[in-house]
């Protein structure tokens, strides 16, 4: 039983005890008063009657008349005249009257007054006694009315006291409830402050809670700051600030594995030629300035295009990943023009070679790197012959044969209308090998069979059909959950959050299948926590009461920069493969993952890992205390 309920019952018990005690004491005192008054009345009436009878000089007829007259004028049980020898000479008797007071009340509080007795004489001779006793029913009626009035007044006073007590308890409970909500908020990852009440004891409690919550928030922010420092140490090149070779290759591998994104992408390699000669001529500081200039030109693209990545592969080699189709050649030439304008300031001997490739994303990373290295080598060789800045571009001959946007839109709409789609299933397992849920990306039946999101999602974004496709995927997942009860996870495109009617339609769909909705998980990209944070908050507020779980997928180092992550109301986070690949062979990367897990666990979030490809990485991730992992190693049944 809660403390407030115990206090309420205690107050109610005290009030009831006071009421019962007051009524009982009042009834007993009134009963005693009635008994005394009735006894005095009997005695006084007996003396008065005896005096009247003594004046009749023993005339029996007159005495009987006076006794009858006395009996008729009062409410008596009996009036009797006894002779001197004790014999009853004359009496009038009336049975007890019922009265208004109930029998149980009369039995509980009896009023048994003494009989009035007086001596009757004739001159100096005693001729007997007179005895009389009044009915007690009138006294009981008066006592019953008095008790009822007292109970009514005390009930009114008790109700008023109860209302006042209830208000006082509510006033006391309000800061207690706020403290409880504050503590629960800390468990849920929110760090709100509570206004201090006026009650001194509660004021001290609230002040202590506020101080504790502020300290926890400070610790979280400090931990996030330390995580950013560790990220820079592990993932960033100390001179240029871009990704190291290992981290860039992990990002490339993760980008090629995803279902979202365009079917083709580009990779540009930039090489600062003759770094050793430049060191001799310009010195180390001068070469550092040249490298920073090259990086500055490369970083203009991630700042303007979402998903671009820049990395330093070695001393003078840099890479730019372009998650878009048909832009690799244009980007490489634009970079060459920008560097051609800025690098001559350091001397005529500063030159670069650029190799650009554009391939289908289903090609393995080894092919991408091999083709890019070959293009860069040709550019460098041509640069030795011609001098200056040389660009070599390689494009997959199978690219560029795109259908018209109108035809694609019609095909996508037809697939949704006819429900020509299916969900792929990739398990997320815990350390014991149990399936926690299934990741279910949508595949649509288009030309050439069922196509993954990498084929149709960019077209759906351009055609503004992502909301319809996401609702279609959710409906398929709900039907599948109803069939086998297995939890399933659906990806929600960031563009769908921006759709004004998407949330309303999604909620209606979930309310139609409430039982299955409790087994549904919705994945949103890390960009949703930064670009659509308000919509993410609204999504959580609308769907959490339905039992739907929300989480972020492809979460990487940028997650530590989400200032209001603890307010997002998420249930889980899936760490991106670019953060996890190679974690077994690099202590710094493992320390960063462990720090991410600790930070996210402090927000009461489950933490899963994506894109696990080998057993060594899987074991290292279990050592980092992840809740579950997914990826090729798990899907192939080795996890």
Q: Name the residue with higher pLDDT: 346 or 3.
A: 346
- 360: β partners: 264
CA distance 491 to 215: 36
- 8 Å CB contact between 613 and 581: yes
CA distance 480 to 477: 5
Going across the sheet that includes 421-423, the strands are: 421-423, 442-446, 449-451
Q: Name the residue with higher pLDDT: 575 or 17.
A: 575
Residue 639 is predicted with a pLDDT of 62
Specify the 3-state DSSP secondary structure of 274.
Answer: coil
Q: How many CB atoms lie within 10 A of CB 43?
A: 17
> 148-152, 171-175, 336-340: which has the minimum mean pLDDT?
171-175
Residue 163 has pLDDT above 70, yes or no: yes
Q: What is the pLDDT of residues 496-515, one digit of tens each?
A: 888 878 999 999 999 999 99
Place of tokens 């019962």: 20
Specify the 3-state DSSP secondary structure of 573.
Answer: strand
CATH 3.20.20.450 segments of the chain: 405-635
> 81-85, 332-336, 559-563: which has the minimum mean pLDDT?
559-563
Residue 186 has pLDDT above 70, yes or no: no
Residue 560 is predicted with a pLDDT of 55
Name the phi and psi angles at 488, rounded to 5: -135, 150
CATH architecture of structural domain 239-395: 2-Layer Sandwich (3.30)
Residue 400 is predicted with a pLDDT of 45
CATH 3.30.70.270 segments of the chain: 239-395
Q: What is the pLDDT of residues 212-228, one digit of tens each?
A: 777 777 777 776 677 76
Residue 517 has pLDDT above 90, yes or no: yes
Residue 489 is predicted with a pLDDT of 95
CATH 3.30.450 segments of the chain: 3-159
Name the phi and psi angles at 163, rounded to 5: -60, -45
Residue 544 has pLDDT above 80, yes or no: yes
Q: What is the pLDDT of residues 384-442, one digit of tens each?
A: 656 667 788 877 655 544 455 567 788 888 888 999 999 999 999 999 999 999 999 99
> 97-106, 327-336, 420-429: which has the minimum mean pLDDT?
97-106
Whole-number percent of the chain with pLDDT over 70: 90
Average pLDDT value over all residues in the chain: 83
Residue 313 has pLDDT above 70, yes or no: yes
Closest CA to 368 of 360, 248, 578: 360
CA distance 501 to 506: 9
Number of alpha helices (DSSP H) and beta strands (DSSP E) in the chain: 22, 20
Confidence tier at 201 by pLDDT (50, 70, 90): low
Give long-range contacts, CB 8 A cutoff, 24+ apart: 429-435: 429/628, 429/629, 429/630, 429/634, 429/639, 430/627, 430/628, 431/622, 433/639, 435/486
**CATH top-level class of 3-159:** alpha beta
DSSP state of 402: P
Confidence tier at 258 by pLDDT (50, 70, 90): confident
> Could you give the C-alpha distances from 557 to 152, 242, 429, in angstroms and in order?
72, 13, 23
Residue 600 is predicted with a pLDDT of 84
The two three-digit tokens of residue 135, written as one number: 């009915």
- Classified by CATH at the fold level, domain 405-635 comes out as TIM Barrel (3.20.20)
- 427: β partners: 438
Q: Name the residue with higher pLDDT: 570 or 388.
A: 570
| Non-local CB neighbours of 170 within 8 Å, separated by 6+ positions | none
Residue 247 is predicted with a pLDDT of 87
Confidence tier at 312 by pLDDT (50, 70, 90): very high
Residue 510 is predicted with a pLDDT of 93
Q: What is the pLDDT of residues 110-130, one digit of tens each?
A: 888 888 888 888 777 778 898
Confidence tier at 343 by pLDDT (50, 70, 90): confident
Place of tokens 């990943």: 321
> 172-176, 266-270, 320-324, 433-437: which has the minimum mean pLDDT?
172-176
pTM of the predicted model as reported, rounded to 2 decimal places: 0.65
Q: Name the residue with higher pLDDT: 394 or 472.
A: 472
Residue 457 is predicted with a pLDDT of 81
């Amino acid at each position: 039983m809660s403390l407030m309920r115990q206090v309420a019952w205690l107050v109610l018990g005290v009030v009831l005890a006071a009421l019962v005690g007051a009524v009982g004491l009042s009834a007993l005192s009134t009963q005693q008063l009635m008994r005394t008054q009735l006894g005095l009345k009997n005695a006084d009436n007996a003396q008065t009657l005896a005096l009247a009878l003594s004046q009749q000089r023993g005339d029996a007829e007159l005495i009987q008349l006076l006794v009858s007259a006395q009996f008729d004028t009062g409410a008596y049980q009996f009036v009797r005249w006894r002779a001197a020898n004790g014999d009853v000479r004359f009496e009038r008797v009336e049975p007890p009257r019922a009265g208004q007071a109930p029998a149980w009340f009369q039995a509980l509080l009896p009023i048994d007054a003494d009989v009035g007795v007086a001596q009757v004489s004739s001159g100096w001779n005693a001729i007997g006694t007179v005895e009389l006793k009044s009915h007690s029913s009138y006294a009981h009626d008066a006592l019953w009315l008095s008790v009822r009035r007292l109970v009514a007044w005390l009930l009114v006073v008790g109700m008023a006291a109860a209302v006042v007590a209830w208000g006082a308890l509510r006033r006391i409970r309000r800061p207690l409830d706020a403290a409880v909500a504050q503590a629960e908020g800390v468990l849920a990852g929110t760090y709100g402050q509570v206004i201090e009440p006026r009650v001194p004891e509660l004021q001290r409690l609230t002040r202590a809670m506020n101080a504790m919550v502020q300290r926890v928030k400070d610790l979280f922010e400090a931990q996030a700051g330390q995580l950013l420092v560790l990220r820079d140490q592990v993932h960033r090149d100390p001179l240029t600030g871009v990704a190291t070779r290992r981290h860039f290759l992990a990002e490339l591998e993760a980008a090629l594995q995803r279902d979202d994104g365009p079917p083709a992408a580009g990779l540009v390699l930039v090489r600062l030629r003759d770094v050793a000669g430049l060191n001799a001529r310009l010195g180390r500081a001068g070469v550092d300035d040249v490298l920073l200039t090259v990086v500055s030109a490369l970083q203009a693209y991630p700042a303007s295009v979402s998903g671009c990545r820049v990395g330093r592969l070695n001393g003078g080699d840099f890479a730019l990943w372009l998650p878009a189709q048909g832009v690799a050649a244009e980007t490489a030439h634009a970079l060459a023009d920008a560097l051609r304008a800025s690098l001559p300031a350091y001397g005529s001997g500063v030159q670069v070679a650029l190799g650009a490739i554009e391939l289908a994303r289903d090609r393995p990373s080894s092919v991408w790197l091999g083709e890019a290295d070959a293009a860069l080598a040709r550019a460098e060789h041509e640069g030795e012959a011609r001098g200056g800045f040389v660009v070599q571009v390689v494009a997959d001959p199978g690219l560029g044969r795109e259908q018209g946007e109108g035809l694609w839109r019609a095909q996508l709409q037809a697939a949704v209308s006819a429900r020509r789609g299916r969900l792929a299933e990739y398990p997320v397992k815990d350390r014991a090998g149990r399936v926690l849920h299934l990741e279910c990306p949508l595949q649509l039946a288009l030309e050439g069979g069922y196509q993954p999101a990498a084929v149709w999602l960019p077209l759906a974004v351009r055609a503004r059909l992502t909301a319809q496709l996401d609702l279609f995927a959710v409906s398929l997942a709900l039907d599948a959950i109803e069939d086998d009860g297995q939890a399933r996870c659906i990806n929600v495109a960031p563009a769908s959050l921006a759709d004004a009617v998407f949330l309303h339609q999604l909620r209606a769909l979930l309310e139609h299948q409430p039982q299955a909705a409790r087994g549904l998980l919705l994945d949103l990209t890390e960009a949703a926590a930064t670009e659509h944070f308000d919509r993410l908050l609204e999504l959580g507020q609308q769907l959490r009461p339905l039992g739907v779980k929300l989480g972020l997928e492809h979460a990487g180092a940028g997650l530590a920069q989400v200032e209001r992550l603890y307010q997002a109301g998420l249930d889980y986070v899936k760490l991106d493969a670019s953060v996890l690949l190679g974690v077994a062979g690099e202590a710094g990367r493992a320390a960063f993952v462990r720090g991410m897990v600790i930070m996210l666990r402090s927000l009461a979030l489950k933490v899963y890992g994506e894109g696990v490809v080998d057993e060594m990485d899987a074991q290292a991730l279990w050592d980092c205390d992840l809740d579950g992992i997914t990826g090729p190693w798990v899907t192939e049944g080795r996890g």
